[in-house]
Structure 1
Amino acid sequence: MKKCPECGNPSYDGAPVCGNCGYKFPKPKTKAPVQEDIFEDRPIIKKSGNEPSTLDIIKENKIVIGAILLITIIVIGIIIATGPATNTTSNVNGSNKFSDANFTFSYPSSWNEVNGSDSLHTGAIFFEGSNGTVIEYYNVTSGFSSIYDINSQRISSAQESGAHINTIQPMQLDGKNASDVIVENANGNFTRYISLLNNGNLYVFKIDGKTMNDITSSEIDSVLKTAHIE
């Protein structure tokens, strides 16, 4: 209970005014709650003497770290050495131009690049020409010393499969000596091999068709005439 300072009338503690004379009691002062200081000192967690330092961990695992670095360097070296695939195709004057390393040739826009399979030459590309003709191109590093040796092996392989050698003749490809071999297969279809050996690399066009005219057409010959080695 509190008393009014004016009339002395008793009033309850929370009364805003005196019930007898109307005196307004002053509002009580409130204290702000004590807030936690966010910058107060925190307890320092001490490491035991048995826990290894970062430097000790690196020293103990230097063999593993060294192996990881070595593998990373090797992988980067392989990527730089092999590089991305160099096969590119561009359209020039209505025909497509194919580039592979230092070898290029142009082919009709009507040709479509198709999926093919050659277990001996995994990097080969395939095109579908007129009349269902399939043109395969690949280049490989060759241990043969001459076109003669290459053709001798090709003839042996053809004969073993029951094929008949129709034509073997020399030709020029980009002003360089090449060979033209035509094989009549056991199923009656024809395969033509245009082979060029240059600086230890073997460049080959393999053309498959139903008839002799398909694989020796002017369309095929026009493509062969555009072949160029840098």
Structure 2
Amino acid sequence: MKKCPECGNPSYDGAPVCGNCGFKFPKQKVAAPKGEDIFQKERKEKKTSNEDSILNIIKQKKLIIGIILLITLIVICGIVLTGSNNKSSPIQTTADVGEFSAGDFSFKYPKGWSEVNETDDSHPGAKFFRNNENTSIEYYNVSTQHTSLKEVTQERISYAQETGSFVELVETITLDGRNASNIILENADGDYTRFVSMFSDGELYVFKISGDSINSITSNEINDMINSADIA
């Protein structure tokens, strides 16, 4: 309730005029609604649990990839170190190397090999060496009626089968820029023999390596010696 300022007569709050004296009540001011602040800072939304889990998965994958790369690097280093510590190490420097030369044929061999006085009744003048693993390395060359390396290889295989040897390997390799045959036989007594033959102008140049295992006749130092063969 409100009172008329002129006569004091009470009137209800919303009455426009006084019912007693007719005084017009002033209109009430209506407070304007408070406007929204358009510059109000937006509230940052918190990351959902799904976003957190995705980030965790990404981080875990990066960690797994890093571990795999580290393991791969360790394995590669191990292989390199194992290879460098091979018992049958290759020829390293010229100070460790001896050279055999006969006519137009030559090859290099480790000075640790010893020259031995052995004979081959089928090939007089053959040269013999023995390495630290007690593997025998024989070299000889002969004139032959064969016209190709293929004929030489076939004859070698036929003879091996006649004498009870088992042919483990027959392949063609390249030595001194020309084809050569590489044959590995398991003999009837369980030992192994390897024949590496080069053929040129009716001459046959042969390495005959004998040992108690395939590893002994295919070691790095023996392969290095064979690869050093040179026909002038």
Taking structure 1 as the reference length, the TM-score comes to 0.59
Match of 1:93 in 2: 95
Among candidates 213, 224, 227, match of residue 226 of structure 2? 224
Question: What is the 5 A alignment of 1:47-58?
Answer: none
Distance in 1, Cα, partners of 2:96 & 2:219: 20
Match of 2:152 in 1: 150
Match of 2:181 in 1: 179
Match of 1:161 in 2: 163
Superposed displacement of residue 203, structure 1:
0.2
Superposed displacement of residue 123, structure 1:
1.2
Q: CA RMSD in A?
A: 1.3
Match of 1:114 in 2: 116
Q: Deviations over 1:76-131 (max 9, x none)?
A: xxxxxxxxxxxxxxxx5331000000011110010011011211100101000131
Distance in 2, Cα, partners of 1:171 & 1:223: 14
Question: What is the 5 A alignment of 1:13-28?
Answer: none
Letter of the structure 2 residue corresponding to residue 185 of structure 1: N
Match of 1:195 in 2: 197
Match of 1:74 in 2: none
Structure 1 range deviating more: 141-150 or 200-209: 141-150
Distance in 2, Cα, partners of 1:137 & 1:150: 16
Q: Which has the higher contact order (CA 8 A, sep 6+)?
A: 2
Letter of the structure 2 residue corresponding to residue 168 of structure 1: V
Letter of the structure 2 residue corresponding to residue 159 of structure 1: Q
Letter of the structure 2 residue corresponding to residue 166 of structure 1: E
Distance in 1, Cα, partners of 2:112 & 2:137: 13
* Superposition misfits of 4+ residues, deviation over 3 angstroms: none
The alignment of Structure 1 onto Structure 2 pairs a total of residues equal to 140
Residue ranges of structure 1 left out of the alignment (5+ in a row)? 1-91
Q: Which has the larger radius of gyration?
A: 2
Percent identity between the two aligned chains: 44
Question: What is the 5 A alignment of 1:12-91?
Answer: none
